[in-house]
């Protein structure tokens, strides 16, 4: 008998994606996601070896907060939510996305402070928070998120 440790089943990942769809109120193009189709073929989802590795919802007009359930996708390494209407403070639960190497949250409606422990996203090789630095304050000392808003 072969036992795989720390691996999710296809049903687990599909359930997590459907919870994500529910949390974001079935906004397009998530409204095209159906359990009768393989989730690796759903719009915005990328898989490797049958497991979700990337979510790219670039410019989808997503509104609301990022649901914490997103980090239940154990192999998620790429998250692109740029150019949406995501709100709230920086989602520190993203620290639980242990394989995340790419994170783009630019051009949203975040507010608040960049957490002092953002370094906990230690695997990141790309991070875009999309704030405009003040002309009087260097980026290295700027702690307030001023995300670009159109």
CA–CA dist 21, 34 (Å, integer): 10
Q: What is the pLDDT of residues 54-74, one digit of tens each?
A: 999 999 999 999 999 999 999
Q: Which of 137, 140, 92, 136 is nearest to 112 (CA)?
A: 92
Residue 137 has a pLDDT of 33
Reply yes or no: is the peptide bond before residue 118 cis, omega within 30 of 0. no
Instruction: Round to the nearest angstrom and report the end-to-end CA distance of the chain.
Output: 56
7 pLDDT tier (thresholds 50, 70, 90): low
Q: What is the pLDDT of residues 13-56, one digit of tens each?
A: 999 999 999 999 988 889 999 999 999 999 999 999 999 999 99
CA–CA dist 89, 34 (Å, integer): 31
Residue 12 has a pLDDT of 94
CA–CA dist 121, 99 (Å, integer): 9
pLDDT reading at 5 higher than 80: no
Cα–chain center distance at 102? 9
- In the chain, the domains with their CATH numbers are 15-128 (3.80.10.10)
Q: What is the pLDDT of residues 86-128, one digit of tens each?
A: 999 999 999 999 999 999 999 998 888 888 899 899 999 999 9
Q: Which two tokens stand for residue 75?
A: 């192999």
Task: Write the CB contacts of 135 (distance below 8 Å, at least 6 apart in sequence).
Answer: none
């Amino acid at each position: 008998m072969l036992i795989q440790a720390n691996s999710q089943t296809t049903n687990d990942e599909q359930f997590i994606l459907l919870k994500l769809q529910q949390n974001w109120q079935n906004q397009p193009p998530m409204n095209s996601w159906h359990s009768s189709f393989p989730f690796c073929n759903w719009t915005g989802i990328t898989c490797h070896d049958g497991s979700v590795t990337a979510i790219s919802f670039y410019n989808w007009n997503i509104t609301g907060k990022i649901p914490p359930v997103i980090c239940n996708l154990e192999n998620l390494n790429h998250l692109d939510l740029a150019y949406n209407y995501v709100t709230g403070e920086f989602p520190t639960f993203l620290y639980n996305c242990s394989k995340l190497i790419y994170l783009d949250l630019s051009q949203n409606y975040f507010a608040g402070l960049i957490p002092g422990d953002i370094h906990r996203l230690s695997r990141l090789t790309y991070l875009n928070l999309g704030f405009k630095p003040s002309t009087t304050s260097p980026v290295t000392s700027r702690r307030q998120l001023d995300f670009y808003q159109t």
